[in-house]
Amino acid sequence: MEREDNFEILTKPYQAIMGKDLEAVKRYYMENENVGHPLTDTGDTALHFAVYTGNKELISFLLDLAVAPFLSDIRNELGNTALHEAAAAGIVKMAEHLLSFGESQLDVKNNSGETPLFIAAAFGKTEMVKFLIVDAGKSNRLRKVTAHEMTPNPFLK
């Protein structure tokens, strides 16, 4: 398939997601691609974009269709998960919803060795940092932030 053809096909789910048209997203993904299929040259998927809509129902629908066995397996080319995206944008309610599907996402590192917590701190998202440190993961463990987690520099190991 040519790039132009692919671009035309992929604009439909992108426009539906960004337009928060849940019914159009449902129709598209029930008939076509899997949720983990990239929509951009950088590998962003429907799940990555859905984070920015703030629509929990949309995220839940996409996760129900996801082919990847674990949410942390759906990554863009930078290795970012949907939780990394929520952390970068500071969208706490989406991070909270994503974590309801599995708290192991808290420890996932992208290709640069950055966790969602590191990303939130790097982007100055203080409410997200507080949420990820204090509230996230409370149900199964007490979260301890180490210097290594906050600094993905290999020389500080």
Compute the distance between CA of residue 152 and CA of residue 81 in angstroms, rounded to an integer.
Answer: 17
Q: DSSP for 89-129?
A: HT-HHHHHHHHTT-GGGGG---TTS--HHHHHHHTT-HHHH
Q: What is the CATH number of domain 3-156?
A: 1.25.40.20
Rounded to 5 degrees, what angle do the CA atoms 96, 125, 103 make?
A: 30
Nearest Cα neighbor of 99 from 114, 111, 82, 115 is 82
And the tokens for 127?
């409410």
Rounded to whole angstroms, the Cα distance separating 113 from 136 reads 20
Give residue-wise pLDDT tens across range 99-139: 988 888 999 999 999 999 999 999 999 999 999 999 886 54
Please state the pTM of the whole predicted model. 0.78
pLDDT at 143: 42
* Domain range summary for the chain, segments of one domain joined by +: 3-156
